[in-house]
A and B are shown apart, each in its own frame.
Chain A
């Protein structure tokens, strides 16, 4: 068991940050819910947060961050941040995160479509998200073809996809993750597929009607790509904030993620 506490009424799950992610994903599936993913791309919740995984971060409602002089813990409410959102330092840093609360959405039916082009898949993924689907995954297939799976929160959406049988997802770990606006998704996918053709495959997860996550995945995770190569790709495609992060990190006694050693 993951040590998770599920709130059926609120559609939330609270869990220690050190919890393994895959058992949590499985537990959600057993409750006819999902955490935005069909299989975990990180080994623990903490890892996903440290790597700023867009899919998990999109579902982060509350985090208990251990600051230099005590815990910081926001209210347990939707859009609860007031003032600067200090708990955002639970993401992309090595700050100590005690526990987190994530949104876990209902699934009443599944749908799938195999063999469509990248552009068709992305357009369909966006459309499904606009209609209310909170889990839509696109996976690369051979010869430039893609396949799409969606979780439906209401049955009346099921007619939007030809099949009700989702194909199994290949177990893998994330090598690189990017949060992008929908218009950028296809371009980034194509650029990454040429940049990292030696490793892994590509997936896309819908985040909301405005944003998606494009991820490079591989069974060995980050170890599949050297740290230098990974950073080089990141620098190319991830917009760098012009603000000097280290000042903020230092002020809050936090270390930022790039110092992290590669791990499987």
Chain B
């Protein structure tokens, strides 16, 4: 690298290299491209259209908290915007660096130190979820944190964006698991924050998305691996009944590891409702580990078919997916296919009638784990509540199917997107009393721009979250972006009118930054800016995220 200091970025890189020659720095275009975007819906659209961004001016790989402190300090001195980077699985535009920025990849902060007697693990911010869980499993523990992104997300990213895992109803969200964290503030000072007296500053740094400090090391609660589990399916006659059952379960002090209910369209996608009524049983092995199987095994692509209430819909869906895959192949779709898919999905209100024809039944997947006594008692109580609320047990198959496929996500651009569509997900939490109308009204609001599926999960005594999956289209990039933004905005308006959260576990990023201030009230802007001024007075840390500005990006 040249010693020229003609730009702030070059001067910054020179200073870092002089002070810490072991820190790897790259300005290669392929590296910069790899750190240019997160995994947001619009980033997929840009890639599909070949509209590749330049990305940051440089990528740095610190190996310790001291390196991070040095890098942040130099960035501040030279006025260089700096984005911390985990594994890039975010979906809310948390990372949008320009060539004037530097990106700091934290994956070399990879310590995993288990403290068995305290049931804690001290873990570097850059450790991938899968690696952490494997290390804990080898010692007889689990973090109990299984986000769908476990292969491609880091502990630091989980904390920065308030992650939730699939077993959160038992083990909590990441904010429930953090005991302490270490970070570097915008001045390059190292800080350690725990639950202490006074305001809980952990709650300030958790969810700060790299705008206040760079999280470098986290202490998490861990749990002995559960010895027993019961995993089964149930059918609710409609969404409202299913929600009543879920609420009763949570308010009875039960803490199911898994409790998720699919809405009618998602029930069909999830395999439908089997006719089986075999009673669930308690078996050895935890849900996290799937008995004694390999914990992260991906499920077989073709599961045994269940007898569904409306097999026609599922068969139709399979045929459509197969036809699309065949038409698109492995490369870019032809202009004709893209035009057809884009046009069909650009306005989706034609779906109103087919939606109404769907059966109303909802599949519920339940998983209990703990020791034998715990699971046996919880299962008996859960089955009693199911009977009381009108929910029918439908055997073990739906639970086992969910277990096999829970991490079966694709890392390629799906044929649907290559064919001209867009897909996104929105997650929201709300109190039980508003969940039915929040669900109905959000689906209604989305109808104009997107096809929608939803499931209810991450349940708490006072409410739960809804996870909406949306798909739309457009014949051009601009039209697709417009349609996507209109769908997100329409959903957000409904969330806000129900006093629901803007997000449950994806974070705010830049996608929802304006809505953040609106949702938190008139004093939010000055409060958040006050925090930014206190933690990052030079404004170098990920400026723009959460709506918090800094040095010119």
Contacts and interface: CB of A to CB of B under 8 A. Distances in A.
Interface of A: 7, 9-12, 52, 57, 61, 64-86, 88-89, 91-93, 103, 105-106, 130-134, 152-154, 156-157, 179, 181, 183, 208, 210-211, 234, 238-243, 245, 247-248, 250-254, 256-258
B520 A72 contact: yes
Contacts of A183: 117-119
B179 A181 contact: yes
Interface string B188-222: 00111111111111011111110010000000010
Most interface-central of B374, B501, B525 (chain A CB within 10 A): B501
A66 B522 CA distance: 10
B531 A92 contact: no
Interface in B334-377: 370, 374, 377
A105 to B, nearest CB: 6
Contacts of A247: 534
Contact of A61 (B197, B462, B546): B462
Contact of B208 (A73, A84, A133, A157): A84
A67 B499 contact: no
B380 A257 contact: no
B461 A103 contact: yes
Contacts of A234: 197
B173 interface: yes
25 contacts: A9-B431, A10-B462, A11-B461, A66-B523, A72-B520, A74-B519, A74-B520, A75-B430, A76-B431, A81-B175, A83-B507, A86-B524, A86-B531, A91-B199, A93-B198, A105-B461, A130-B374, A131-B253, A153-B252, A154-B254, A154-B381, A234-B197, A243-B201, A251-B533, A256-B199
B200 A78 contact: no
Contacts of B447: none
Q: Give 6 closest A-B pairs by Cβ, nearest first.
A: A132-B253, A70-B522, A153-B253, A67-B523, A92-B198, A70-B523
Contact of A243 (B120, B193, B251, B381): B193
B525 A69 contact: yes
A82 B429 CA distance: 11
Interface in B433-485: 433, 458, 460-465
A10 B464 CA distance: 10
B196 A241 contact: yes
Contacts of A91: 198-200
Contacts of A70: 521-523, 526
A84 B547 CA distance: 12
Contacts of A76: 430-431, 499
Contacts of A74: 501, 519-520
Interface in B267-290: none
A77 B207 contact: no
B530 interface: yes
B471 to A, nearest CB: 24
Given A93-B198, A248-B531, A75 B460 contact: no
Interface residues of B, number: 85
B118 A154 contact: no
Contacts of B490: none
A65 B523 contact: yes
B431 A105 contact: no
A76 B118 CA distance: 34
A134 B523 contact: no
B207 A241 contact: no
- Residue of A61, A80, A208, A254 with most partner-chain B CB within 10 A: A80
Nearest to A256: B198
A129 to B, nearest CB: 10
A130 B534 CA distance: 39
Given A64-B521, A210-B176, 13 more contacts: A10-B431, A11-B462, A72-B524, A77-B429, A82-B503, A91-B200, A154-B254, A181-B118, A181-B179, A242-B190, A243-B192, A248-B535, A251-B530
Given A73-B521, A103-B462, A241-B191, A78 B431 contact: yes
A78 B523 contact: no
A108 to B, nearest CB: 8
Contacts of A85: 203-204, 206-207
Contact of A82 (B117, B162, B212, B433): B162
A7 B199 contact: no
Contacts of A131: 253, 374, 377
Interface string B161-181: 010100000001101110110
A84 B528 contact: yes
A241 B193 contact: yes
B463 A72 contact: no
B516 interface: yes
Contacts of B177: 210
B488 to A, nearest CB: 15
Nearest to A54: B195
B175 A79 contact: yes
Contacts of B254: 132, 154
Given A77-B500, A251-B534, A241 B430 contact: no
B504 interface: yes
A251 B531 contact: yes
Contacts of B117: 183
Contacts of A93: 198-199
A83 B209 contact: yes
A113 B255 CA distance: 24
A256 to B, nearest CB: 5
A242 B191 contact: yes
Contacts of B120: 181
A79 B209 CA distance: 17
Contacts of A78: 429, 431, 460-465
Interface string B227-238: 000000000000
A88 B519 contact: no
Q: Which of B117, B430, B523, B527 has the most CB of A within 10 A?
A: B527
A251 B201 CA distance: 14
Max chain B Cβ within 10 angstroms of own Cβ: one of A10, A69, A78, A256? A78
B257 interface: no
Contact of B251 (A80, A153, A251): A153
A248 B534 contact: yes
B313 interface: no
A257 B199 CA distance: 9
A253 B460 CA distance: 34
Nearest to A103: B462
A251 to B, nearest CB: 4
A156 B378 CA distance: 9
B173 A79 contact: yes
B175 A252 contact: no
Given A9-B432, A92-B200, A242-B193, A75 B252 contact: no
